[in-house]
Amino acid sequence: MIFAGCMAIASPAQRMTMDECMEYAVKNSLSVGRQETALDNAKMNYRQSVAALFPSVAASVSASANFGRSIDPETNSYTTVSTFSNSYGLSASMPLFAGLRYVNNIRAAKVARERGYSDMQIACDNVAMEVMRAYMDVVYYKGAVKIAEEHLQASQQTLRQARKLHSLGRKSAAEVAEVASQEANYDYMLAEQQNNLAMAWIKLRDTMNYPQDSLLEVVDSTCTLPANMDIALGEIVGYALNNNAKVVSSELAVKECRLHYAKAKGLWFPTISLSAGISTNYFTNFDNKSAYPQFSSQFRNNMGEYVGISMSIPLFTNLSNKAQVRSSRNALRNAELERTATRNAVESDVVRACRQMEGYGKLYEAAVKKVDAARLAYEGVAARFGKGLVTAIELQSSATTLLQAESEMLHSQLQYMIEKRMVDYYSGVPFVKTGN
């Protein structure tokens, strides 16, 4: 067990890009697996609805022995002998007309199958979006840990300078204590960011359904802003409202409910069915087996066929037909309302993603300039501090400004990348190609 644990620790971490993480998550997602099962059921329901139009065929065999008083099949009169009889039958029936219920049921099942593919895509997209955000959290906290380590190292160097200046009489003990407090603060900040990074790793593995005891490493993403960030918002919204999986699923749901409503109204129409069959029987006397012909002769001579057409007209069904029609009509209304809500939500999501992408892009550009300026200012203050020209409070203020600027730059960069990926998604670029 110890050797196995050492091997696990020594094994290299698997490096994965964000796209690879999303693909892994989709392949191993439990929610996607459940949706695959639902899609398979939809396919089976469609095949079953088509098969309902074909004739149903059944075979029957029966046998009986009579002791005592019974009816003689030859004379059709009562007798008191012991007899044995058996019969064979083959029957078939098929619907000819049922108010288009079978046809509408096939159409509805076909639409449900198509909606199953859209729901599968929605499940894949939801998993991919969760992984994308969890992945970016890991990247962010990795950057936050790196920033904290750099500031901790700079603070430790500053503390050594302060102690040296104190020994030369150029810094007071209070200033040294101030720098030591700042160094302790950065040490605490580093521990906090390391803990946040550990939690982000747990969340990413959980979202991917990746083993928690397996090593994983992400490839840090980079960000390059386009020269022109103008967005064709109208085109993106139009494309999303026509092609997004959520909108397509809601449209198919309305279509399916409309067909179920038509099928329910067909309950008021007569049902016409065609039936046909063939049957024969065999009879013998236990006391006198020679009294009746042999099995082969009876099987052939007693054979009969029939063909029939029946019609069932619904006159009163205890309000069940009316209840089904009304229920299916209400389901159609709810589906239409849900379609409107889905279209509004998708439109809002598209506009929000586009605006946030533009906003974070501008913030990132401003943050880069802010970091450059804050770093120059910090380096100047740190140089003057080493010469004893500025106080520890001024150095701490400058370091805090640089730290905040670097955190803001990292945050705006990663948020821009998330929103950029969302805009691409609404423009038709899938997170993961499912092949459906």
Burial code (b: 16+ CB inside 10 Å, e: under 16) for 406-416 equals: bbbbbbbbbbb
Question: Is the separation of the CB atoms in 243 and 284 below 8 Å?
Answer: no
DSSP characters over 57-87: EEEEEEEEEE-SSEE-TTT-SEE-S-EEEEE
List CB contacts of 210: < 8 A, sequence separation 6 or more.
Answer: 24, 25, 28, 204, 216
Question: Is the separation of the CB atoms in 308 and 277 below 8 Å?
Answer: no
What CA–CA distance (Å, rounded) separates 237 from 220?
31
pLDDT at 292: 74
Q: Give pLDDT tens digits along the chain (436 positions).
A: 343 444 344 456 788 889 999 999 999 999 999 999 999 999 999 999 998 888 899 999 998 887 767 666 666 677 777 777 889 999 999 888 887 888 999 999 999 999 999 999 999 999 999 999 999 999 999 999 999 998 888 888 878 877 887 787 777 788 788 888 888 888 999 999 999 999 999 999 999 999 988 888 888 766 666 656 667 889 999 999 999 999 999 999 999 999 999 999 988 889 899 999 999 988 787 766 676 778 888 888 888 899 999 988 888 888 888 899 999 999 999 999 999 999 999 999 999 999 999 999 999 999 999 999 999 998 888 888 777 777 778 888 888 899 899 999 999 999 999 999 999 999 999 988 765 4
Cα torsion through 420, 421, 426, 430, rounded to 10: 160
Strands 304-312 and 70-71: unpaired
First to last CA, the chain: 44
pLDDT at 2: 41
pLDDT at 119: 94
